[in-house]
Amino acid sequence: MSLLLQQIKEANNIFVACQLKSAKAPVCKYPTRKLAILACMDTRLVSFLEPAMGISRGEAKVIKVAGNVVYTDFDSVIGSLMVAVYELQVQEILVMGHDDCGMLHTTAASLCAKMKARGIAASDIEKIHPQLQKWADPIENITTSVMTTVEHLRKNPYLPADVLIHGAVIHPDTGRITILSDGSDRE
């Protein structure tokens, strides 16, 4: 077992023992705030994003993906949002970008070069290069990126028009949130 997995297992044993002692009521799988958050996977947002928003366990569904980018009408992110909306009663979606996002410096070319250096076959890289270009290359500005995702979700044929879709950016050091788009302001 890797050292990391050993550490996780030890931490989990302690965590479970504490949970059993505290005998807290189970948390419902339905988000009480009826909110889904589409956020970046940046490590600086772990245990930071939700408290900065006043969101506690059980109040929102959080979907994390590099750069909080959605560029197709259906992928695993859209599928997750569909489950949140149709199965878990989510009524609002917040696309939450963050300042200093690593995706601003990630390109299809840089990913392909690093994949090649790690032993991925050139033929396999060539197969996904067009998708990588559509996904990584358009991200040049976090505000524009968030708003592009917001607009894509608003126009998505699989998400109902009555779901409010908002856009915001959080600073990963201060936690200050800037609202870019309030979905309730749309006509």
Q: Is 18 annotated as a binding residue?
A: no
Q: Is 99 annotated as a binding residue?
A: no
Q: CA-to-CA distance for 41 and 46, rounded, in angstroms? A: 8
> What is the strand order of the sheet 92-98 is part of?
60-64, 35-39, 92-98, 164-170, 177-181
Q: Is 98 annotated as a binding residue?
A: yes
Closest CA to 69 of 98, 45, 90: 98
Helix (H, G, I), strand (E, B) or coil at 149: helix
Q: CA-to-CA distance for 37 and 67, rounded, in angstroms? A: 13
Residue carrying the six token digits 């997995």: 5
Q: Estimate the share of the chain in helix, then strand, then coil, as percent rounded to the nearest 5.
A: 45, 15, 35
Q: CA-to-CA distance for 32 and 53, rounded, in angstroms? A: 14
Q: Is 40 annotated as a binding residue?
A: yes
Amino acid at 64: K
The annotation places the binding site at 40, 42, 98, 101
Annotated binding site for Zn(2+): 40, 42, 98, 101
